[in-house]
Amino acid sequence: MSISVIIPNYNHASFLRERINSVLNQAYQDFELIILDDCSTDNSREIIETYRNHLKVSHIIYNTENSGSTFKQWKKGIELAKAELIWIAESDDYADINFLATLVDKFKDETVSLAYCRTVVVGEDKRQNLYQWGEAMQPETWNSDHTFIGKEFINSFLKYRNVIPNASAVIFKKKYFTDVDDILKMRYAGDWLLWIRLAEKGNIAYSHKTLNYFREHRDSTRAIKYFEEEKRRIEEYFIVINETSSVAAYPFKPFDKAYSWIIDEWLLKMKTFGLKKALRPPYPFLFLLRFYFRLLISKF
């Protein structure tokens, strides 16, 4: 099966060459590479241009102004893609040489709409740690390969948290990238919402092999931003959770401990921005109570 690999870059010149090479050097070679730059202000263009004549590179596109959302770049790349499978290879991450070979094999099962692998987090000090966001729920599950029924994956995991580490760990079917207008308006939780919609349309294949290397650094989307951006991040979390409450087949359980990570994140924001700002909506507790109340009412 052929894959379209999309690298959406913005100001990741220091990581870009390693990322591109980790794609080009894959053991599985049936792919095209699309490189998109979102008006970077560093020397990304200089690095990208060294790959212009590579046989695997089908498109190099530079935006004349920043789009404001990586998800808009995803859409642009997917519209250019010729293959039936999509890999969004984030520009600050890198992959094991067997990443594509391992995950493409999962699509021999035609019911699979998305396949992903285990991820290693690479810190600024180069220290590597296994990404364990999913291990907080059913920890034994992630030690072996599985194919989950899509809607059961939503019910067991995605309605509570985004257990899929990051886009670089994922391959999905292009034909299911639909109904994304609201995702394009997001900055932080659009991937989570997309995984949910892909899970509604097929099954989820998981490889326990650690084949994706996700970088955490001060410029990553997960780093703490200024207050208004953090406010927006939490708002997006609740948009996604609210949608899953209507998708999930099992009854919603108010104050489920599986949502405690939101409280933990709020406490971190309170430490950063102070109590007065942290108590402003959409931060818990008052907003969280209103959120749960609204969901409870919708069940009757």
pLDDT per residue over 137-154, tens digit each? 888 999 999 999 999 999
Give me the helices (H) in 92-189, please: 99-104, 150-153, 181-184
Cα dist from 17 to 10, 44, 49, 74, 101, whole Å: 13, 9, 11, 20, 21
- In terms of Cβ atoms closer than 10 Å to its own Cβ (0-12, 13-18, 19+), residue 28 is middle
> What are the pLDDT digits (tens) for 25-54?
999 999 999 999 999 999 999 999 999 999
Backbone angles phi, psi at 229, to 5 degrees: -70, -40
Between CA 252 and CA 296 the distance in angstroms is 8
Which of 234, 229, 241 has the alpha carbon at shortest distance from 285? 234
Backbone angles phi, psi at 135, to 5 degrees: -65, -20
CB-CB contact of 70 with 10 (8 Å): yes
Cα dist from 179 to 175, 194, 197, whole Å: 11, 9, 9
In whole angstroms, how large is the CA radius of gyration of the chain? 19
Q: What pairing do the DSSP bridges indicate for beta strands 3-9 and 85-88?
A: parallel
- In the block, tokens 């285990």 appear at 118
CB-CB contact of 113 with 85 (8 Å): no
Residue 43 DSSP class: S
Please list the pLDDT of the chain residue by residue as tens digits (300 residues): 999 999 999 999 999 999 999 999 999 999 999 999 999 999 999 999 999 999 999 999 999 999 988 999 999 999 999 999 999 999 999 999 999 999 999 999 999 999 999 999 998 877 888 878 788 888 899 999 999 999 999 999 998 889 997 999 999 999 999 989 999 999 889 999 999 999 999 999 999 999 999 988 565 555 555 777 777 888 888 888 878 877 766 555 556 777 777 767 766 766 676 655 655 555 445 555 555 555 555 444
Which of 95, 31, 17 has the alpha carbon at shortest distance from 59? 31
pLDDT at 237: 86
Between CA 195 and CA 240 the distance in angstroms is 11
Measured over the CA atoms of residue 226, residue 227, residue 230 and residue 231, the dihedral's sign is negative
Q: pTM above 0.85?
A: yes
The torsion of the CA quartet 164, 157, 71, 111, rounded to 10 degrees, works out to 80
Domains of the chain (ranges, CATH numbers): 3-215 (3.90.550.10), 227-298 (no CATH)
Between CA 20 and CA 36 the distance in angstroms is 12
Name every residue whose Cβ is closer than 8 Å to that of residue 18 and which is 6 or more positions away in sequence: 94
